Amino acid sequence: MSFELNNAQIRADMGRVDAELRRVLSLSRYSKPIRRVLDYLVQSPGKRLRPLLTVLSYRSVAGDADLPIAVIRLAAAIELIHMASLVHDDIIDAADTRHGHPSFHKQFSVEVAIPVGVLLYSISLKLLSDVGHLEVISRVSRAVDQLCGGELDQVLSRDQFDITVADYLLVLKKKTSALFSLSVWGGVLLAGAANEKGQDAFRFGTSLGLLFQVSDDMLDFTGRADQLLKGGNQDFILGEITLPLIVLLKRLSPADRGKALDIMATRNWDGLQWIGAQLADSGVLEECGILMRRYQVRCEAYLGTLVMTEYSAILAQVVAYISGRGG
């Protein structure tokens, strides 16, 4: 299932965001070799979900008005932070592929990927200073703080399988929801509606981020290669526990729980088949699906507060698209 963007206005807006990304990633002050490696990121077929949220969130409040350059810059800056985080995350996770292509450090090298991640982040800071809202900078720094904190929580707890669902969801809030909520809140702020809608928009982004990451966790177990566009069972390989396994461990008998923990600790591939069978038989995926639906309902409650326009309708489509990915 892929997300088709049919609305001409939003396509045009996203074209402007893309043009801004191309512009800042091909500045003449960079040498040709640098521009060549940055071009790999421009060409990479990411979903551009976060900038789409900023644009839709802006338009769902402001309607058909001309899109201010500040919205384009904020949307592009958030996408650059996301790109930077993925370049670094793929090194941390030793991931060979991303979006169906070699990951950035596989294509170039870790030595290139580390400074490029920082460069992307610094380009985004320049764009953000041009947005001209101190509150935006402050919120972005909080979001990046959370993004890095969530990633660190996860890396530092590799091979520790005793995390609760609540603690795990807190990690996801930091690792994934922080940028989603920033994207949605930023659109509302630039539309001049932060006082009335800012907090609700932020919460909507949080729920949407959780919906997205839980569906990502489920895809890691259930996804076909064409849905994943990256290696499956990645979390298992890294000794990172995700929601389906946390829920499964709660449900298994003490003996089976011990068996599952042993399989996970030793990365026993044959044992992974057994875990897969337990997941399928024990209703775990259904429980994860129930959680996803809870976040979906929260997202829909926010959408219900918006004036119904073609733009809020596309926001609803984004929610439906993300809801349909994992379960």
- Which parts of this chain interact with ligand FPP (CB under 6 A)? 81, 84-85, 88-89, 92-93, 95, 117, 121, 144, 147-148, 151, 175-176, 216, 234
The size of the interface with Mg ion (CB under 5 A), counted in residues, is 2
Q: Which stretch binds Mg ion (CB under 5 A): 46-54, 85-93, 111-119, 235-243?
A: 85-93
120 in Cβ contact with 37 (< 8 Å)? no
Q: Which does 148 bind (CB under 5 to 8 A by kind): ligand FPP, Mg ion, none?
A: ligand FPP
Q: What is the DSSP string of 32-100?
A: HHHHHHHHHHHHS----HHHHHHHHHHHHHHTTSPPPHHHHHHHHHHHHHHHHHHHHHHHHTT--EETT
Q: Cβ 126 to Mg ion, closest distance in Å?
A: 27
Stretch that binds Mg ion, among 83-91, 118-126, 277-285, 289-297 (CB under 5 A): 83-91
The interface region with Mg ion, picked from 2-10, 86-94, 146-154, 197-205 by CB under 5 A, is 86-94
Among residues 175 and 325, whose Cβ is nearest to ligand FPP? 175
Give the shortest CB-256-to-ligand FPP separation in angstroms.
Answer: 26
Choose one: 88-96, 97-105, 202-210, 217-225; the region binding Mg ion (CB under 5 A): 88-96
State which of residues 13, 79, 93, 235 lies at the interface with Mg ion (CB under 5 A): 93
Give whichever of 152 and 193 is closer to ligand FPP, judged by the CB atom. Answer: 152
Residue 121 binding target from ligand FPP, Mg ion, none, CB below 5 to 8 Å by type: ligand FPP
Alpha carbon distances (Å) from 85 to 96, 147, 166, 174, 320? 15, 8, 24, 13, 25
The residue among 53, 56, 6 whose CA lies nearest residue 311 is 56
Residue closer to Mg ion by CB (options 79, 93) is 93
- The long-range contacts involving 136-144, CB below 8 angstroms and separated by at least 24 positions, are 136/74, 136/186, 136/189, 139/182, 139/185, 139/186, 140/77, 140/78, 140/81, 140/182, 142/178, 143/81, 143/178, 143/179, 143/181, 143/182, 144/81, 144/178
Q: What, of ligand FPP, Mg ion, none, does residue 144 touch, CB below 5 to 8 Å by kind?
A: ligand FPP
Determine the number of helices (DSSP H) and then strands (DSSP E) in the chain. 17, 2
Residues within the interface to Mg ion (CB under 5 A): 89, 93
